[in-house]
Amino acid sequence: MITHYAVRQVPPDVTVVSLQGSLTRGRNLGRVERHLQKLVADGSRKLVLDFSGLNSIDSAGLGLLLVCTGTMEQAGGQFAVAGAAGKTKQILEMARLQRVVSVYPDLTTALAALDDRGHRASEE
């Protein structure tokens, strides 16, 4: 179960959602999904889930990541996961999630990558 959930804006235009606990099947997962969808509906186009405080994820959590990826693609935005470690990182790797979702070792790297991709897209 998610024990802590925080949203913050990182200038100029990235929304970071930090999760602590477990991203697993249950009511909290549904709340997280609804909140993420609301962020996109309200205009967030660069969204990073900070997993540095997450200690596990199950198939329902993986499904949430796929839903978020599809939602952001439809909105023309960018979605990434950062900071997964330990068991969470192993599960993401076993599921080969990096083939579908941008996965970064830490938040700093994810923010730089999203900023760089945004600049390149606007220059083309």
Q: How many residues does the chain have?
A: 124
pLDDT digits (tens, 9 = 90+) for 66-80: 999 999 999 999 999
pLDDT digits (tens, 9 = 90+) for 91-122: 999 999 999 999 999 999 999 999 776 543 33
**Cα pseudo-dihedral 2, 94, 52, 31, rounded to 10:** -30
Half-sphere exposure of 69 (CA within 13 A, CB side): 15
0.85 exceeded by the pTM? yes
Single out the residue of 79, 78, 82, 89 nearest to residue 106, CA to CA: 82
Helices 27-41 and 59-75: angle between axes, nearest 10 degrees: 10
The residue written with tokens 């990541």 in the block is 65
pLDDT on residue 120: 36
The tokens for 113 are 């990558």
The tokens for 13 are 């235009």
The tokens for 41 are 């509906």
Q: What domains can be seen in the chain, in order of their start residue?
A: 2-113 (3.30.750.24)
How far apart, in Å, do the first and last CA atoms of the chain sit? 43
